[in-house]
Copies of this chain bind each other. A is one copy, B any other.
Amino acid sequence: MRTSQFFFTTLKEAPADAEVISQKMMLRAGYIKRAAAGIYTWMPLGLRVLRKVENVVREEMNQAGALELLMPAVQPAELWQESGRWEQYGPELLRFKDRHQREFVIGPTHEEVITDVVRRDVKSYRQLPIHLYQVQTKFRDEIRPRFGVMRGREFLMKDGYSFHSSFDDLKREYGNMYDTYSRIFTRLGLKFRAVAADTGSIGGTGSHEFHVLADSGEDDIAFCPDSDYAANVELAEALAPARSRMAAAKALEKTHTPGKMACADVAKFLELPLGQIVKSIAVISEKEDSKQTFALLLLRGDHELNEIKASKIAAINPFRFATEEEVIAHLGCKPGFIGPVGIDREKVAVFADRSVAVMSDFVCGANEAGYHMTGVNFGRDLPEPEIFDLRNVVAGDPSPDGKGMLDICRGIEVGHIFQLRQKYAQALGCSYLDESGKSQVMEMGCYGIGVSRIVGAAIEQGNDEKGIVLPAAIAPFEVCIVPMGYHKSEAVKAAADQLYADLKKGGFDVVLDDRNERPGVMFADMELIGIPHRVVIGERGLKDGQFEYKGRRDAEATMIAQSDIVATLQGKLCAV
Contact = CB atoms under 8 A, between A and B. Distances in A.
Q: Which of A7, A68, A94 has the most CB of B within 10 A?
A: A7
Given A91-B99, A98-B141, A99-B91, A72 B40 contact: yes
A44 B72 contact: no
B65 A42 contact: no
Interface string A169-195: 000000000000000000000000000
A44 B117 CA distance: 12
A9 interface: yes
Contact of A41 (B5, B7, B70, B153): B70
Contacts of A50: 70
A491 interface: no
A67 interface: yes
Given A7-B132, A42-B69, A94-B96, A35 B139 contact: no
Interface in A119-157: 120-121, 130, 132, 136-137, 139, 141, 143, 153-154
Interface string A95-117: 01011001010100000010011
Q: Which of A65, A76, A94, A116 has the most CB of B within 10 A?
A: A94
Contact of A106 (B33, B68, B106, B116): B106
B69 A47 contact: yes
17 contacts: A7-B132, A9-B121, A33-B120, A35-B75, A35-B113, A35-B116, A36-B74, A36-B75, A36-B76, A39-B72, A42-B69, A72-B154, A73-B73, A73-B137, A73-B139, A74-B139, A99-B143
A71 interface: yes
Interface of A: 5-7, 9, 30, 33, 35-36, 39-44, 47, 50, 65, 67-76, 91-92, 94, 96, 98-99, 102, 104, 106, 113, 116-117, 120-121, 130, 132, 136-137, 139, 141, 143, 153-154
Contact of A7 (B94, B104, B130): B130
A71 B35 contact: yes
Q: Which of A6, A36, A94 has the most CB of B within 10 A?
A: A36
A68 B44 contact: yes
Contacts of A67: 6-7, 44
Nearest to A120: B33
Contacts of A96: 94, 96
B35 A72 contact: yes
Contacts of A141: 98-99
Nearest to A70: B42
Contact of A72 (B41, B68, B72): B41
A99 B143 CA distance: 7
A503 to B, nearest CB: 18
B117 A41 contact: yes
A7 B117 CA distance: 12
A136 B73 CA distance: 11
A6 B131 CA distance: 10
A55 to B, nearest CB: 12
A508 to B, nearest CB: 17
A64 to B, nearest CB: 11
A447 to B, nearest CB: 17
Contacts of A72: 35-36, 39-41, 154
A246 to B, nearest CB: 57
A102 to B, nearest CB: 8
Contacts of A36: 72, 74-76, 102, 104
Contacts of A39: 72, 74-76
Contacts of A94: 96, 98
A149 to B, nearest CB: 11
Contacts of A6: 67
A5 B130 CA distance: 9
Contacts of A154: 72-74
A39 B73 CA distance: 9
A59 to B, nearest CB: 14
Given A33-B117, A44-B132, A47-B68, 7 more contacts: A39-B72, A41-B117, A72-B154, A74-B139, A92-B99, A96-B96, A99-B141
A162 to B, nearest CB: 12
Given A69-B47, A96-B94, A153 B74 contact: yes
A47 B72 CA distance: 12
Contacts of A44: 67-69, 132
A5 B128 CA distance: 10
B43 A69 contact: yes
A427 to B, nearest CB: 18
A264 B509 CA distance: 69
A411 to B, nearest CB: 27
Contacts of A75: 35-36, 39
Nearest to A121: B9
A132 B106 CA distance: 26
Nearest to A78: B36
A239 B339 CA distance: 104
A154 B137 CA distance: 13
Contacts of A30: 121
